[in-house]
Amino acid sequence: MKKIYFSIIFFVSLIAINSCEDLDLEPQDTITDAIFWKTPNDFKKATNILYYSLEGFSYSDTETDIAFNQNNSISNGTYQTSETSSSWSDPYVYIRRCNNIIEKAQNSEISAQVKESVAEAKFFRAYNYWKLYRLYGGVPIIKTVLDLQSNELYATKATKTEVADFIISDLEEAAIDLSSKSTLLPADVGRITLQAALALKARVALFEGTWNKYHNTGDANKYFDIAIQASNTLINSGVLSLYTAKGTNSYRYLFIEAGDDCSETILDRRYQRNIDGHVYPALLQRIGYLPTKKLADMYLCSDGLPINKSAQFQGYTSKISEYQQRDPRMTMTMIVPGNTAKIVGYANGVECWPFYPQRIPNTGYTTYKFYSEDDYANPLGESPNFDYDYHIIRYAEVLLIYAEANFEKSSSISDADLNKSINVIRSRAGMPNLTNAFVTTNALDMKTEIRRERTIELALEGFRYDDLRRWKTAETELPQDLKGIKIKNNDWNLPILINGTNKNIYANSEWQNNTDASGFILVETGRSFDANKHYWRPIPTKEISLNQNLLQNTGW
């Protein structure tokens, strides 16, 4: 019996040995490194997931003084340290994925064929470090794929400037192998391009330069030169231009019609209805994305003068007077009271008034920018389904970077450089040129006007928080009361009848007793900004407990 038993074992073993080369030991439900990373298409597929790190539509300017939808702890200075934060952890997830692609390419037999995929990975590594750097300043720089034994798990923070330099270096290396926007195949429209690398480089350099200048933390002109060079290269390339397909209304339709193939687009978060759509923005609902008086007052009059200097300003005496004879971008960003807009649940649109449809809370201003005119996106009785792309980097920002970096480097800017940058933007908007003579004649300040142009052109696109911090004006601007429209001593106390019902009742009953001495709505008071700590976010406490070499940001 033993002989038979051992004979069976020997026979089975012999079969196994002789046929082992025929066994498929690869798992059938996953893809392993052993069978992946074989073709250029594998590397291209690996980069696809990196696009999920691109930010999309949000209410990010509510963290500042130009927009509001409910009390925001970042904006009003009440936020505290937290154990975890996605703004810290998410970028590092994508940085690891970028490092993995770069390492796999370095060890691949087809490394020469996957240079563009590596360039995309370097761009996204830089992009995710930018997301960390803009909030936290200095952070650990991780260049390899870590395991449980890696010493880098306990790395110290690099300095703010070291992080900026690393980002710029990655973008410079990426730019060498990225395709130009002008040469992309139709199937690749929306992928990272040479222009995206140069534009992000310019953005980071301007941030670092102005931060160093106004916080007195290092060399500023070095980074202004980098920003000027990168933005100038883009301007002179002839590949990019402002979107003008809708004539005088082009600024409005840029955000709801012009997608990745638009000449102004440099980097977009792409959307596709019923595949990767989005329901933002609910601009006319009970909680919207509401401009503040601070933003409204920043728009120039049509003669190019601020409201406190222009004879064209009509004041706040009527419901629409402050919108008259102003920069056209004002009424392409905010709905003029009484105008009709499409809204979910109303097939033919609805008259929009500051208090109708009812919103809680409220500033009295209603956002029009980003608001769709698509019937499908505003269906009766259904949730909205928008599919237009979100512009993360667009050519107008490049022009603004060029102007600001030139001015900040020498505290002056030539009319030629203004014509090359800001006046291109103003021309699309239908506004008069900004010149040195105009500034002098009207006792204006060039720095203020350059910053005003940036804020107006990029309003509600999420730039204001970074701008106030790098200019070191957050400690002055953010503690100010947030205000809305003037509803006292003007015609806002008169009824607004829609279908026989007074839709202005909320203005009379809820807000008349909640104003400042001049009759403007007090949206939020008691705000603060601690200059000793609020310029940088606190590092999540769990990260510090896991890595004792990771020091908390100052003041937290």
DSSP sequence for 440-494: HHTT--HHHHHHHHHHHHTTTTT-HHHHHHHTT-HHHHTTSPEEEEE-SSSGGGS
Mean pLDDT computed over every residue of the chain = 89
pLDDT(104) > 90: yes
Could you tell me the CA-to-CA distances from 555 to 74, 80, 214 in Å, in that order?
Answer: 15, 11, 19
Q: Say yes or no to pLDDT of 158 above 80.
A: yes
Residue 23 pLDDT greater than 80, yes or no: no
* 402: enclosing H helix or E strand: helix 395-410
Which residues pair with residue 386 across a beta bridge?
Answer: 278
Backbone dihedral region for residue 20 (phi beyond 0: left; psi -120 to 50: alpha; all else: beta): alpha
- pLDDT-derived band at 354, boundaries 50, 70, 90: confident
Backbone torsion region of residue 154, taken as left when φ is above 0, otherwise alpha when ψ lies between -120 and 50, otherwise beta = alpha
What are the extents of the domains in the chain?
A: 28-57+86-159
Q: What are the residue ranges of helices labelled H in 221-302?
A: 221-237, 250-254, 293-298
- Of 52, 48, 57, the C-alpha closest to 388 is 57
Angle at 529 between CA 527 and CA 535, to 5 degrees: 145
pLDDT of the residue at 511: 72
3-state secondary structure of 46: helix
Query: What H or E segment, with its residue span, contains residue 524?
Result: strand 520-524
Decide which of 372 and 454 is more confident: 454
For residues 177 and 115, give the distance between their C-alpha atoms in angstroms, rounded to a whole number.
6
Q: How far apart are CA 147 and CA 96, in angstroms?
A: 11
| Dist. CA 226–CA 207, nearest whole Å | 11
- Residue 306 tokens read as 């601020």
Res. 256: pLDDT tops 60: yes
pLDDT per residue over 114-133, tens digit each? 999 999 999 999 999 999 99
In which element (H, E) is residue 44 found? helix 40-48
Q: Tell me: the pLDDT tens digits for 394-445? A: 999 999 999 999 999 999 999 999 999 999 999 999 999 999 999 999 999 9
In this prediction, residue 285 carries a pLDDT of: 58
* For the chain, percent of residues with pLDDT exceeding 90: 73
> pLDDT confidence of 1, banded at 50, 70, 90?
very low
CA distance 393 to 269: 10
| Separation of CA 527 from chain center | 24
Q: Please report the pLDDT score of residue 261 as a whole number.
A: 85
CB 512 within 8 A of CB 494: no
pTM as predicted = 0.92
- The arithmetic mean of pLDDT across residues 470-497, rounded, is 92
Residue 380 has pLDDT above 60, yes or no: no
Predicted confidence band at 73 (pLDDT cuts at 50, 70, 90)? very high
Rounded to 5°, the CA angle 334-392-425 comes to 60
**Contact assessment for residue 254 and residue 262, using Cβ atoms and an 8 Å cutoff:** yes
* Cα 72 from Cα 61, distance rounded (Å): 10
